[in-house]
Amino acid sequence: MALDRPPSEPLRVALVTSSYNFIQDGVALTLNRLVAYLLSQGVEVRVFAPTAGAPDFAHAGDVTSVPSLPLPARPEYRLALGMAGYVKRQLLDFQPDIIHIAVPDLLGHAALTLARKNDIPVVATYHTRYETYLKHYWYLAPLEGLLKAILRRFYGACREVYVPSGSTRDILLADGLRDNFKPWPRGVDTARFSPAKRSAAWRAQHGIGADELVVLHVSRLVREKRLDTLTRALNLLKAPHRVVIVGDGPDRAFAQAELPGAIFAGFLVGEDLATAYASSDIFIFPSDSESFGNVTLEAMASGLACVCADATGSRSLVVAGETGLLADASDAQGFADNLATLARDAGLRQRMGQAGRARALTFSWDETMARMLGYYKSLLAGADS
């Protein structure tokens, strides 16, 4: 589609995503950061996404609501029902230079089709390893091969795909995807997430003694975060410890039943979340569905030694033996052994926490967002980046 406006006008980006302002998950928060940055740089952005009543938080930019329904069995998320006629008209009237798709769902496929039909460059960001979810739901497990084929076709049709970690790129290539990948790591606010936020008052408020060891987990409480491994590993850990679980979700009841002595702090944001990190001693995260792992980076920035899955995302963040320890996502005993190693060696925890903090300082949000804008400009200029 030839643009009918002068080339001197601002760059225009249409962002198409199924998660933007109705739930504060990693995808939504990252995309809001991106939109806010682009707007600050004079880029015009229009977001096309499902909405649900009042936004859950103050989102960045203008949002065009697309038809959607609550996702069956997971009503906190919404299923976008493709791209209605009025949405297509508004998107084309916006005259985007680039269409950026964040999720390969019905809406994402419709946006890809529209972009190709109208000769608009289309790019995508890879956020979540959806194919890993299926094994946790017996009625969906047989669809793994089909889903991988759909992902190969979808991402292969995009001009560029921005992946958050080298380990994610390796997995996608092994699954047969076309190598049109470019790195787009995430950042972390190292002023907010800092060891300096450690609080004796926070520990006392939760009935935690000054010398008690606190093992922290932060995530949405859903089975694909490997709550099975998490709960088994914590129950296998014999060293004296307290468990703090930050987050909420449909499988909270399972976690509470398996960990009756744990402190369930619920969903925390901002300074409350930063304090929870810094006031703990070890971070545990067995999920193997991450493409990056924002919570792991936040824990590292907060000075915690990390025990994580030897899987995409965590493998690119945690340097085994230096900033933390890794184990197979299904190996509860391996996780318990790693926790025990750190539990009995305060010096090792401190050294790993300091190394993790130093590594986290190299992940800048400003650099991350500037890189995306650079990708857009290079693509439109026809230059290699």
Q: In the chain, what are the domain boundaries?
A: 12-187+364-381, 195-360
Q: Do domains 12-187+364-381 and 195-360 have the same CATH topology?
A: yes
Q: In this predicted structure, what is the pLDDT of residue 134?
A: 54
What tokens were used for 85?
């006629």
User: Are 39 and 45 in contact, with CB atoms under 8 Å apart?
Assistant: yes
Q: In this predicted structure, what is the pLDDT of residue 212?
A: 97
pLDDT above 60 for 256: yes
Kindly state the percentage of the chain with pLDDT values over 70.
93
- Give the pLDDT mean for 342-350: 98
- Give the pLDDT mean for 95-121: 96
| DSSP conformation class of 11 | P
**pLDDT confidence tier of residue 91, bands split at 50, 70 and 90:** very high
Tokens 């709550």 correspond to 227
CA distance 155 to 293: 21
User: Are 248 and 220 in contact, with CB atoms under 8 Å apart?
Assistant: yes
Q: In this predicted structure, what is the pLDDT of residue 26?
A: 83
Of the candidates 372, 366, 292, which has an alpha carbon nearest to the alpha carbon of residue 123? 372
The secondary structure of 325-353 as a DSSP string is EEE-TT-HHHHHHHHHHHHT-HHHHHHHH
Q: In this predicted structure, what is the pLDDT of residue 132?
A: 62
User: Are 296 and 357 in contact, with CB atoms under 8 Å apart?
Assistant: no
Torsion angle, CA of 230/236/238/241, rounded to 10 degrees?
20
Q: Greatest CA span in the chain, whole angstroms?
A: 68
User: Are 190 and 301 in contact, with CB atoms under 8 Å apart?
Assistant: yes
Of the candidates 217, 275, 207, which has an alpha carbon nearest to the alpha carbon of residue 248? 217
Q: Hey, which residues does 291 pair with through a beta bridge? A: none
CB atoms within 10 A of CB 239: 13
Q: What pLDDT digit, counting tens, does each position of 28-80 carry?
A: 999 999 999 999 999 999 999 999 888 888 899 999 999 999 877 777 788 88
- Give the pLDDT mean for 308-316: 91
Q: In this predicted structure, what is the pLDDT of residue 385?
A: 39
- For the chain, give percent helix, strand, coil, nearest 5: 40, 20, 40
In terms of pLDDT, which residue wins out, 189 or 145? 189
Q: What pLDDT digit, counting tens, does each position of 279-301 carry?
A: 999 999 999 988 888 999 999 99
Query: CATH number of the domain at 12-187+364-381, out of 1.10.150.50, 3.30.559.10, 3.40.1410.10, 3.40.50.2000?
Result: 3.40.50.2000
Q: In this predicted structure, what is the pLDDT of residue 2?
A: 43
Average pLDDT, the chain: 92
CA distance 376 to 385: 10
Q: What pLDDT digit, counting tens, does each position of 215-234 carry?
A: 999 999 999 899 999 999 99
What tokens were used for 345?
């060696």
Q: For the chain, how many residues are written?
A: 385
Sheet holding 62-65, edge to edge: 62-65, 44-49, 12-16, 98-101, 122-125, 160-163, 181-183
Query: CATH number of the domain at 195-360, out of 3.40.50.2000, 3.30.70.370, 3.30.460.80, 3.50.50.60?
Result: 3.40.50.2000
Q: Identify the H or E element spanning 297.
A: helix 294-301
**pLDDT confidence tier of residue 147, bands split at 50, 70 and 90:** confident
The gap from C-alpha 319 to its chain's centroid, in whole angstroms, comes to: 19
DSSP 3-state assignment of 78? strand
User: Are 286 and 329 in contact, with CB atoms under 8 Å apart?
Assistant: yes
